[in-house]
Amino acid sequence: MREHFFQLVAMFLEGGLSGLTGFDSPARFRYIRYTMIGFFRMVFFAIAAYLIYKFVKFVLAPLAGSQTPPRAEGRSGVMVKDEVCKTYLPREDAIRETVGGVDQYFCSEACRAKYLAGRKSGSENAGRPAP
């Protein structure tokens, strides 16, 4: 096995030299040698291509990762104010109530009820605004 390998290497080198110098050898052996050279060359390029592929992938991997950063789903980051207790809270967590065509946000059901009660009593004197 080992001797066979060295024989192949010798053939490879000899084939390369004869190719450069035009060293004369029987056409049949020359054909075999060139076939071997072609095979080795193919294997070499395959390995080289694989290594380049791995290298490029390794280099580009962090770039590709940064292009799609993890994002909190369904969170707009918009803060709304509860007009009853004057606190700010994320819009997704607030209770929304459309009052007279305007969206009002509340931290809890209690604040919403309080706001609507206050508005009802206030509107008795002021009259209803246009929706």
Footprint of Zn ion (CB under 5 A):
82, 84-85, 107, 111
Min dist CB 111 to Zn ion, Å, is: 3
Q: Taking the CB of residue 91, how many other CB atoms lie within 10 A of it?
A: 14
Contact criterion met (CB below 8 Å) for 14 and 40: no
When the beta carbons of 80 and 84 are compared against Zn ion, the nearer one is 84
Min dist CB 85 to Zn ion, Å, is: 3
What's the CA gap between 113 and 12, in Å, rounded? 91
Q: Taking the CB of residue 40, how many other CB atoms lie within 10 A of it?
A: 16
Min dist CB 67 to Zn ion, Å, is: 41
